[in-house]
Every structure is written in C-alpha cells, then in structure tokens.
Amino acid sequence: MVTALFCIIHKDLFSFLENVSNPLYDVIISFDILEHFTKQEVFILVDKIYQALKPDGKLLLHVSNGEVIFSGSVFWSDLTHETCFTKQSISQLIRLVGFKVAKFYEDVPIIQGVKSLFDRYFLLFILLKLAILVKVLFCQEIYLW
C-alpha cells in the first residue's frame, strides 16, 4: 500500500476550517496568509484554526513583521495586504481565541540577489523535508495552503 507524504487541498480556507467538526490537527502552518485578511477576518480565521487543533496542537505562523524599520515598504508593496502584525498584536490575537503560549523567531533576510534567493528557498526546502519527517514519524496528514 502506498501512502502520500502530504496532501495538498486547494479550497477556500474559511469553508475548509468550517467543515472540521472536531479537533483534528496536531500542527497547522500559516505562511504569509494572515496579512491578506481584515482584522475581523483574521480573528475569525485564527479562532477556527484554534478549534481545528487538538488540545496540545500547534499553530506555526509566518507574517510580515510590523516592528522592523522597513515594515511599511513591505506592507505597502503588496496591494492585497490588509493587516500588519507585531509581537504584541499577534500575542493579543492568539490569546483572545485560547492559545496559551506565543514564541517568536526571526525570519531569513529579504531576497536581494542570487545568494539570498538560494538561502531563502533552501530554508523552504528544509521546511518541506521537516513536514515529510513529521508525516513519516507521526503518520499525520499535512495540509499546505
């Protein structure tokens, strides 16, 4: 029997999470998604994510950093950005829906040439390998949006 290493579903995020009837996931990864929603939509989305996670489940977020010196240029460079986040605003958001702990880590630098392009996508390659390892070790489905 052959099993898939991960499952990719292309679907509206809100309706997908609405159909999760009980806590199902150990980990949910949101990579550069939240900043494209209004504050009200972000609150609803993170609440739905919290409800879809098992009791000890984890939410891994990657968002634009509203605290850095050039955050405005990053935020305003994409017409679809609706919200910008800081450590404090993310902490407020996740605690409002029920998460207990927030940890923050620096991201890789902005792509500025061939070397930084390689560095950035090497990190994504490592994350994909990590996702596959999680699947193999824990036999969990991994959904990537």
pTM exceeds cut of 0.85: no
Do 96 and 115 reside in the same domain of the chain? no
- Looking at residue 25, what is its pLDDT? 87
Do 136 and 77 reside in the same domain of the chain? no
Do 51 and 113 reside in the same domain of the chain? no
Distance CA 40, CA 49 (A): 14
* Residue 33: Cβ-neighbour burial (10 angstroms; 0-12, 13-18, 19+): middle
Do 49 and 102 reside in the same domain of the chain? yes
Q: Which of 29-33, 63-67, 68-72, 95-99 has the lowest mean pLDDT?
A: 68-72
Query: Residue 89's pLDDT band (boundaries 50, 70, 90)?
Result: very high
Q: What is the mean pLDDT of the chain?
A: 80
Sign of CA dihedral 103, 57, 27, 66: negative
Q: Which of 23-32, 81-90, 124-133 has the lowest mean pLDDT?
A: 124-133
Domain span at 143: 108-145
The percentage of the chain sitting over the pLDDT mark of 90, rounded to a whole number, equals 24
Instruction: With respect to residue 98, please indicate whether it lies within any of the assigned structural domains.
Output: yes
Distance CA 42, CA 94 (A): 10
Do 80 and 127 reside in the same domain of the chain? no
- Looking at residue 75, what is its pLDDT? 77
Distance CA 66, CA 1 (A): 47
Instruction: With respect to residue 6, please indicate whether it lies within any of the assigned structural domains.
Output: no
**Residue 93 pLDDT more than 50?**
yes
- Looking at residue 119, what is its pLDDT? 67
Do 113 and 69 reside in the same domain of the chain? no
Instruction: With respect to residue 14, please indicate whether it lies within any of the assigned structural domains.
Output: no
Q: How many domains does the chain have?
A: 2
Which residues lie below 8 Å from residue 21, measured CB to CB, with a gap of 6+?
none
Q: Which two tokens stand for residue 95?
A: 């605690």
**Residue 94 pLDDT more than 80?**
yes
Q: Which two tokens stand for residue 102?
A: 């927030």
Q: Which two tokens stand for residue 123?
A: 């990190």
Query: Residue 120's pLDDT band (boundaries 50, 70, 90)?
Result: low
Closest to 131 (Cα-Cα) out of 23, 21, 123, 101: 123
